[in-house]
Structure 1
């Protein structure tokens, strides 16, 4: 836990995450850390809570997970579906908040939230990009099996949402699901969006006629749409041999891609090099299967690079219904290939999309806007 000495009358907030210290830039793509910086800039005192399990607890959770989910893959998220594990961590968070003298905790997921509203000394808030119900809709590969055996987890989620003082969401589609599926009152959910990290908007020259397409993934190559993108690119290149695709994010992708004509794998690159790739690309080809939001879409549009992705989750909202990108209705390589050919056939349309997309994301998405909205809610509750 970390703390900053507050001034008199300062708004005090504790951020928490089960996946790492929320004030570290590596946690949840840096979202909590970026939000904390902007809340501090607004005068708030932001603290960090990150309880750690003992080895005995971890072993017990593993046993309960094996019994309850029949040997489904063991990871932090899976074990936290166990009621006792969630209750233990939720209690640890509340106790840490009281020790720090904080009565507001902003969670970045439900896995460390209380399952009821009996904790009156601490008010719990949530900032989320997805729900369990939404995650099940496009479950990837073997995750369908564990999802089907986790009905109790759905009830834990429902209870956690109900116990929240207020819920902040990345997108409107998440808010709608919380209201329609989980029965949360609309006045207890606010869409605040997200920011874009360190990306610098680009207004320099771009070659939409001859520029390469770009695919980015630091991990989860298949889930981020890598295999689907490669299959579609292979089909599209039969009709457009001049097409090029750059794959970036992880050196291991070289062995996955192999010697694919027209595809260049650059692997892991420094941030400045990634920013330059985003600026020079004609199109971001990123057909992610079940990514809740996709900050990479925002970064591409801030670089005036239109995007291609599946018509699901946050992408329709980010592209304003397809005005600043191409929404593919199904995860089919033939359909995706047709979309690629259609997009690359009209450089002027890509240029217009890039300009309008940049205006759209710069006017709507920033960590300062998120912090402003959350701070206003905190000061009225």
Structure 2
């Protein structure tokens, strides 16, 4: 099968942890790798954001990344990319006139917009994964939402026009249903985790020295919605514990990040500055060991479209305390692999953390259960199985629709 992956701002070549580099990059990279290993011909189209990038970059597994000229070849915030999507789509239309893919899988709403422009002239079926929905973002961020005003309308139009929408969790599927997208065209295909890299025996890599009896760890992009401030405030009621936060710019520059400065101020006001450490960007090779060094991994965002960190922790056999939002509701089994608690409630975080830290045997059982859950549901092989099935259904449905349309002419 010839598969075109379109990911306008999230290149599989980018290192996760930046403001616009996170779960989508990981998803596209690993799904592409897994599909290529199965013999599919996969090309990932992403925007050229530097002048010295080659037109095409072969990946080790056989896939290719193509850098699309759309706007200036510099890094731009994703919320400023909308004016450049017509050029992106026109490039796709030209590329697909030369070599037509069997199916296009678009990642994020602007990728879907460009993919629709590229695919429509050639009758190529389109599968859409939003990764995050404008309706959810606007609901939680209100006036702080920097997304283009047109986003929600375009997402609704895309969802109704494409052949299939892949939601990453049940919560997103329900949101799509509420947007008027027919449930029969929605399939849930979650994110995954590399269960060989993230493993309970992952004892290689560097980890910061432990200073207190208990270590709590939070990881991800250094942005307000991740809720690190809630974990810091909870720390005031969790004695003998340190909180490490991984993510953002490199360690030497983390103090220049506005969100890092805000979190530092909160820690000082809460009287826990001596127990909070901002690690900055963590080398991917060190991440499994860092997770394994924690007694408990905290994932406390206000909202979360999916959330890969809980999977990484569970794959390493570490229990997870997560807010009861979005994809956490699917991945974290409350009372089995960790705990789900209400968002924006430092008191609930503190109560649950103290309970888990007091029971080492329970934590170990949660860790074992988490690893088993990952192997059953969240390996990249299982994600690719589900994506392949959707592609084949999409192609079959498209063939029937094309034949029907031809017969009625």
Aligned residue in 2 for 1:15: 5
The Cα offsets for residues 179-214 of structure 1, whole Å up to 9 and x where unpaired, read as x21222222121121221463321589x9x944111
2:229 to 214, 227, 230: 227
How many angstroms does 1:176 deviate by?
2.0
How many angstroms does 1:88 deviate by?
4.7
How many angstroms does 1:22 deviate by?
4.5
Aligned residue in 1 for 2:198: 200
How many angstroms does 1:219 deviate by?
2.9
The Cα offsets for residues 323-373 of structure 1, whole Å up to 9 and x where unpaired, read as 322222130222322222222222222222111111112210022112222
Distance across 2 between alignment mates of 1:345 and 1:113:
48
Distance across 2 between alignment mates of 1:112 and 1:129:
11
The Cα offsets for residues 76-126 of structure 1, whole Å up to 9 and x where unpaired, read as 32552x6xx545543433332232322421111121324699545222111
Secondary structure (helix, strand or coil) at the match of 1:46 reads strand
Asked whether 1:158 is paired with 2:161, we answer no
How many angstroms does 1:19 deviate by?
0.5
Distance across 2 between alignment mates of 1:175 and 1:166:
12
2:361 to 348, 359, 366: 348
Q: Which runs of 5+ in 2 are unaligned?
A: 47-67, 204-209, 396-409
Aligned residue in 1 for 2:275: 262
When the two structures are superposed, what TM-score results if normalisation uses the length of structure 2?
A: 0.74
How many angstroms does 1:24 deviate by?
5.7
Aligned residue in 2 for 1:109: 108
Distance across 2 between alignment mates of 1:320 and 1:94:
44
Secondary structure (helix, strand or coil) at the match of 1:246 reads strand
Secondary structure (helix, strand or coil) at the match of 2:273 reads coil
Asked whether 1:35 is paired with 2:34, we answer no
The Cα offsets for residues 245-290 of structure 1, whole Å up to 9 and x where unpaired, read as 2232342157653771333444334333321121121101221123
Secondary structure (helix, strand or coil) at the match of 1:212 reads strand
TM alignment of 1:231-242, pairs within 5 A:
231-234=233-236, 236-237=237-238, 240=239, 242=240
How many angstroms does 1:218 deviate by?
4.4
Contact 1:86 1:113 in 2 (8 A): no
Asked whether 1:336 is paired with 2:335, we answer no
Aligned residue in 2 for 1:319: 332
Contact 2:202 2:316 in 1 (8 A): no
Relative distance call for 1:79 and 1:25 in structure 2 (3 A) is closer
TM alignment of 1:23-62, pairs within 5 A:
28-50=24-46, 51-55=68-72
Contact 2:296 2:319 in 1 (8 A): yes
Secondary structure (helix, strand or coil) at the match of 1:105 reads strand
2:129 to 127, 130, 135: 127
Q: Which moved more, 1:121-130 or 1:224-233?
A: 121-130
Secondary structure (helix, strand or coil) at the match of 2:274 reads coil
Aligned residue in 2 for 1:136: 138
Aligned residue in 2 for 1:215: 218
Name segments (4+ residues, structure 1) moved above 6 Å: none
Asked whether 1:92 is paired with 2:91, we answer yes
Secondary structure (helix, strand or coil) at the match of 1:272 reads coil
Contact 1:199 1:299 in 2 (8 A): no
Relative distance call for 1:243 and 1:161 in structure 2 (3 A) is same
How many angstroms does 1:317 deviate by?
0.9
Aligned residue in 1 for 2:53: none
How many angstroms does 1:314 deviate by?
0.9
Relative distance call for 1:227 and 1:190 in structure 2 (3 A) is same
